[in-house]
Structure 1
Amino acid sequence: MAVTRKVRRYCGGVYDLGLHVVWCPKYRRPVLGGPVAVRLRELIEQKAAEKGWEITALEVMPDQVHLFVKHEPSSSASYVAHQLKGFTSRVLREEFPHLKSRMPTLWSSSFFVASIGAVSADTIEKYVNTQWERPWAKKQKEEAERAPRV
Structure 2
Amino acid sequence: MENKYRATNTTVSLINYHFVFCPRYRRKIFLKSEVEKRFKELTEEVCKEIDINIVAMECDKDHVHLFLNTPPTFSPKDIMAKIKGVTSKKLREEFPHLQHLPSLWTRSYFVSTAGNVSSETIKRYVEQQKTRG
Q: TM-score, normalised by structure 2?
A: 0.93
CA apart distance, 1:5: 5.9
CA distance in 1 between partners of 2:89 and 2:10 (Å): 34
Q: Name the counterpart of 1:76.
A: 75
CA RMSD of aligned residues (A): 1.6
- Structure showing greater radius of gyration is 1
Candidates 114, 124, 127, aligned match of 1:126 = 124
The equivalent residue for 1:50 is 49
Asked if 2 retains the 8 angstrom alpha-carbon contact of 1:20 and 1:68, the reply is yes
Are 2:107 and 1:109 equivalent residues in the alignment? yes
Matches within 5 A, 1:1-150: 6-32=4-30, 33-101=32-100, 103-135=101-133
Count of paired positions: 132
Which structure 1 residue ranges, 4+ long, deviate > 3 Å from structure 2? none
2:132 & 2:61 partners in 1: Cα distance? 14
Deviation at 1:133, TM superposition (A): 2.4
Q: Any gaps of 5 or more consecutive residues in structure 1?
A: 136-150
Residue 117 of structure 1: how far off its partner (Å) = 1.1
Structure 2: runs of 5+ lacking an equivalent: none
One-letter code aligned to 2:55? T
Equivalent residues of 1:17, 1:73 under 8 A apart: yes
> What TM-score comes out, normalization by structure 1 length?
0.83
Q: Is the 8 A contact 2:59 2:130 kept in 1?
A: no
The whole-number CA distance in structure 2 between the counterparts of 1:94 and 1:10 is 36
More helix by share: 1
